Amino acid sequence: MGANEHQVCIGNEAVWGRESADGDEALLGMDLVRLGLERADTAEGAVDVVTELLEKYGQGGSCMEDESGFTYHNSFLISDRREAWLLETSGKYWAAEKVAGGYRNISNQYSITTKIDKEHPGMREYAQSKGWWDGKSQFNFATVYSYATTARMEAAGSRYCEGKKLLKKSNGHITAETMMAILRDKDSGINMEGMFLTTGSMVSVIPTNLSLPAVHYFTATPDPERSVFKPFIFVKHINALKETTSPSYGPNDPVKKKPRFQSKPDRKHELFVKHELVAAIIDSHKDRGTKITEFMRELEKKLMTQMEKIFSDGIEEPDLFANLFSRSVQQEMEAYNKS
């Protein structure tokens, strides 16, 4: 997931369907997120960037730093100040839907049905050649390219359905706090534990008013329930985010050598390491853990209150926010040191 200076935001999820996700190395979904953000200045532009790259280079390769061969296709939720798009892929084939309004979520399944606003020119013909579609009935992307029917997806007690319910509950008055609460929800499976622990979380507030800045809140740490959402604003003279930048191994990085993944380097940044220790305290010392969690929420509330003033007044001196995220990280780490 991520955002760029044009306030284009992209979220990415793994999806599986009839088409095998096993294949040669190509672009990962995470590569496509980064390239879309690097090259696009609108949400629709990002759809075009991602799909052009997909058609030219394909997608594939292991998504984990080991030899497990964990592979998948990708779905993307893409937005800017004006609109949002849902893009779902299967190999080099894809469909995109412009989100008309309200709310939309993605998880580990296809959700584009009959409303398709853009598509790979050969998508339907390919499905017909595989026997997935008869060429006569109404084309439903999720039904044609998925293992299961759309009805079965909606009925399943999945993260997708639970996320949809939580969003519906707040439809019309969804705030940053609403989104943070949803991302922290463990009963729904959205805030994941175990092998696929939620590694980082992000909430973006993008005003339609061009004179107002967008604020992107990042945890930069696992498990949002035990993390602080900290604000970041794109300004011209932004400073390096040292405390949340993973170590660089350059050309010696095992991910850049073939055969891949012969060793696994330590990619934990400074905040991640401190947070890991604090998370262990929260788990093992109830009273101390409660106090630490209370501090996290207090700091987060304080930071969000500061941002509310920006949404109402705008920014007169952008460079004052060049260290906004880093200052917030330092406040968090100082508190961890005291704990």
Count of CB atoms situated within 10 Å of the CB of 151: 9
User: Please, are residues 121 and 95 in contact by the beta-carbon 8 Å criterion?
Assistant: no
Give me the pLDDT at residue 149, please.
53
CA dihedral over 65, 183, 214, 324, signed as positive or negative: negative
pLDDT at 156: 44
Q: Which of 4, 21, 3 is nearest to 12 (CA)?
A: 3
What's the CA gap between 178 and 232, in Å, rounded?
Answer: 18
**Residue numbers in the chain where pLDDT is lower than 50:** 152-153, 155-156
Question: Given its phi and psi angles, is residue 220 left (phi above 0), alpha (psi -120 to 50 degrees) or beta?
Answer: left
d(CA 194, CA 147): 26
Q: Is the dihedral of CA 79, 82, 88, 91 positive or negative?
A: negative
In sequence order, the 6+-apart residues with CB closer than 8 A to the CB of 254 are 65, 260, 261, 262, 263, 264, 265
Region label for 172, one of left (φ > 0), alpha (ψ between -120 and 50) or beta (otherwise): left
Q: Where are the domains of the chain?
A: 1-174, 182-338
End-to-end Cα spacing for the chain: 31
Q: Which tokens is 112 given? A: 């584009």
Most distant pair of Cα atoms in the chain: their distance: 67
Distance between CA atoms of 151 and 166, rounded to whole angstroms? 19
pTM for the model: 0.94
